[in-house]
Amino acid sequence: MSFAPSTRKGPVGVAVIGAGNISKQYLDNLTTFPDLKVHVIADLFVEAAEARAKEYGIAEFGTPELALNHPDVEIIVNLTIPAAHVEVATAAVNAGKHVWTEKPFSLDRESGLGLLKAADAAGIRLGTAPDTFLGAGLQTARRIIERGDIGTPLTGMTTFQTPGPESWHPNPAFLFQHGAGPLFDMGPYYLTALVQAFGSVRKVAAVGSAAKATRVIGSGPKAGEEFAVEVPTHVSAMAQFEGGQSSHSVFSFESPRLRMGFVEITGTEATLSLPDPNYFDGDLKLWRPGAEEPEIIPATGPAQGRGLGVLDMARALRAGTAHRATGDLAYHVLDTMVSISESVESGSFVDVTSNAPVSAAIPEDWAPETATL
């Protein structure tokens, strides 16, 4: 899709729908980037929206309808639960607002494609988390790989293992329902990192399991309450990419030992250890044949945190250029995760037919804290 420059000038107006835990990480940045202006915090629970608005000095709060109908809001930042992502994003498209939505993009291919088509027909931009790949860590990795420092990229390995979020999250049941679990909750970070290194996924194979039928909330006002586990809580997946490269990934809520943020890309000349793809920064390690220790490479570039993708969309909106964390990229990652789930159920390889567009690199001097609009 091609875009004309925005007719509006100055900072881009934003509204946040969803005042839950993740909203704090976004608002820490959205309220400090000078090219953005947060006008509204909205939530079905208005008292939650009010508390968050007061915390960040935002003038208006209320139900989602306030955000959708606000004349100064150009981008809706959709931080609702996964099951509501497409519904809220579609409402924003119908209201003529551009949309940034938390991951996953959708819970199934049909609703995801429907959202893409609706936005395309309306000339609306879609952006979707994770935007961590825009941060210094993964952008530095991209520059290293594109320079040829590891030779021709061949294989990837990623690992995410924890005991599960029920011990610390005050309301974790949704993380064990359809559209979540370790694959859909954490998979977007790791799979996006792999797609940025190798291009589009072409086929996958996976196995999965759930060790327990129920789990118990370990903290907060609901501590001691039991809830049902509806999805696999351990998934082991292989993927093959369009260039012939392959990867192996583990996504688990079943490991007493924590292994988070492990991503390695191996090429013909060296292996590159990437920073945790759930974060925006972190040193890289380059392992060469015969070396006893890796070369430590500091990340360079912007690393402010969640909201970089919203800012990139806002600046692209004013300029009429393409933003980077697109709906098409997010849909390809969603398509890959759905295919992994289908492989778990069928026990066979599943083809992935969608494509991930190549996103432009972030310049090292791209400065979120500088006013440009």
**Assigned token pair, 327:** 């709906």
Contact 37/14 with Cβ under 8 angstroms? yes
Q: What is the average pLDDT across 185-204?
A: 97
- The DSSP-derived string for 57-106 is T-SEEE-HHHHHH-TT--EEEE-S-GGGHHHHHHHHHHTT-EEEEPSPS-
pLDDT for residue 25: 96
Q: Which of 339, 363, 104 is nearest to 205 (CA)?
A: 339
pLDDT for residue 45: 97
Band (pLDDT 50/70/90 cuts) for residue 88 is very high
Peptide bond into 104 cis (omega under 30): yes
pLDDT for residue 309: 98
Note whether 164 and 103 are same-domain residues.
no
Tell which of 131, 159, 186 closes a domain.
131
Peptide bond into 130 cis (omega under 30): yes
Q: Is residue 272 part of a domain?
A: yes
pLDDT tens digit string along 110-126? 999 999 999 999 999 99
- Output the CA–CA distances (angstroms, integers) from residue 352 to 156, 205, 340, in the order listed: 18, 11, 9
Quick one: how many helices (H) and strands (E) in the chain?
9, 17
Note whether 139 and 266 are same-domain residues.
yes
Note whether 173 and 69 are same-domain residues.
no
Note whether 93 and 43 are same-domain residues.
yes
Angle between helices 308-319 and 21-30 (to 10 degrees): 50
1 pLDDT more than 70: no
Report the C-alpha gap between 234 and 187 in whole angstroms.
12
Confirm whether pTM is higher than 0.85: yes
| Mean pLDDT lowest among 177-186, 230-239, 322-331 | 177-186
The number of domains in the chain is 2
Band (pLDDT 50/70/90 cuts) for residue 7 is confident
- Output the CA–CA distances (angstroms, integers) from residue 266 to 156, 248, 273, 308, 313, in the order listed: 6, 12, 9, 28, 32
373 pLDDT more than 80: yes
149 pLDDT more than 80: yes
Note whether 100 and 140 are same-domain residues.
no
Tell which of 268, 297, 326 closes a domain.
297
Q: Is residue 153 part of a domain?
A: yes
Q: Is residue 221 part of a domain?
A: yes
pLDDT tens digit string along 214-238? 999 999 999 999 999 999 999 999 9
Residue with tokens 């400090």: 32
Note whether 28 and 100 are same-domain residues.
yes
Q: Is residue 241 part of a domain?
A: yes
Q: Is residue 224 part of a domain?
A: yes
Q: Is residue 346 part of a domain?
A: no
- Chain Cα centroid distance, residue 17: 17
Q: Which of 215, 254, 232 is nearest to 178 (CA)?
A: 232
Note whether 207 and 265 are same-domain residues.
yes
CATH number, domain with residue 40: 3.40.50.720
Note whether 277 and 191 are same-domain residues.
yes
pLDDT tens digit string along 13-67? 999 999 998 999 999 999 999 999 999 999 999 999 999 999 999 999 999 999 9
Note whether 179 and 34 are same-domain residues.
no
Residue with tokens 């969603």: 334
Rg (CA), the chain: 20
Report the C-alpha gap between 89 and 99 in whole angstroms.
6
Report the C-alpha gap between 44 and 332 in whole angstroms.
30
Note whether 270 and 146 are same-domain residues.
yes
pLDDT tens digit string along 239-295? 999 999 999 999 999 999 999 999 999 999 999 999 999 999 999 999 999 999 999
Cβ neighbors of 99 (< 8 A, separation 6 or more) are 75, 76, 78, 89, 92, 93, 119, 124, 125, 126, 127
Tell which of 131, 162, 179 closes a domain.
131
The dihedral region occupied by 211, where left means phi > 0, alpha psi between -120 and 50, and beta the remainder, is alpha
Note whether 59 and 107 are same-domain residues.
yes
CATH number, domain with residue 174: 3.30.360.10
Q: Which of 307, 24, 18, 352 is nearest to 191 (CA)?
A: 352
Q: Is residue 351 part of a domain?
A: no
Domain assignment of residue 157, given as a range: 133-297
Note whether 16 and 127 are same-domain residues.
yes
Q: What is the average pLDDT across 72-81?
A: 97
Q: Is residue 172 part of a domain?
A: yes
